[in-house]
């Protein structure tokens, strides 16, 4: 009788283990999959931060170019106003002939000023244009890379989901088979 009670007790334990083990299999593999999904979430966050950084850089360069253009326009306006004021003052003080001489002299000064501006502003503008083009190319490359990563993640995710479902069902089947064989072995010794 003690043997039968022991066999019955072991049979109850075996049934509980069979019911718990599939849940353990699910818990282990689901935990692993959640870790992978967490890594994917971090990757998406890094992608978003990268895109935001590129947008900020683009805005910075756009504002820099606008500020350079604005400064150049203000300088041209200031020089034109100064020239007109100076020419008017000379004409009023020195007469028409002095005004003509100053006008010729200011014409040469305008040419020199235009060349100086061209020499000073052109490299800066060219640099900004090169930087803008580079920025656009980097942005396109990064966006393309991110899109490819997203497609790859989705493909891998689908493959892993299918793989995990197969592994889970195989492991559950092995556990059930093991438990059934164990029960048959115990029943043989009753």
Tell me: the pLDDT tens digits for 88-132? 887 777 778 877 887 888 888 888 878 887 887 778 778 888 888
Percent of the chain with pLDDT over 90: 29
3-state secondary structure of 10: helix
Q: Cα(190)–Cα(128) distance, rounded to whole angstroms? A: 89
DSSP string across 24-47? HHHHHHHHHHHHHHHHHHHHHHHH
**What is the pTM for the complete model shown?**
0.63
Among 146, 133, 149, 160, CA closest to 52: 146
């Amino acid at each position: 009788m003690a043997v039968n009670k022991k066999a019955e007790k072991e049979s109850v334990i075996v049934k509980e283990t069979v019911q718990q083990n599939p849940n353990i299999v699910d818990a282990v593999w689901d935990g692993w999959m959640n870790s992978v999904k967490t890594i994917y979430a971090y990757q998406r966050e890094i992608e978003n931060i990268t895109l935001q950084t590129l947008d900020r850089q683009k805005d910075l360069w756009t504002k820099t170019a606008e500020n350079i253009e604005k400064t150049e326009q203000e300088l041209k306006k200031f020089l034109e106003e100064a020239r007109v004021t100076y020419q008017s003052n000379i004409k009023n003080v020195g007469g028409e002939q002095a005004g003509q001489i100053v006008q010729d002299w200011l014409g040469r000064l305008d040419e020199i000023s235009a060349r100086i501006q061209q020499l000073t502003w052109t490299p800066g503008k060219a640099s900004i244009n090169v930087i803008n083009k580079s920025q656009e190319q980097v942005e396109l490359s990064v966006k393309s890379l991110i899109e490819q990563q997203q497609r790859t993640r989705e493909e891998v995710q689908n493959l892993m989901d299918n793989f995990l479902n197969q592994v889970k069902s195989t492991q559950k089947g092995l556990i059930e088979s093991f438990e059934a064989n164990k029960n048959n072995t115990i029943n043989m010794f009753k």
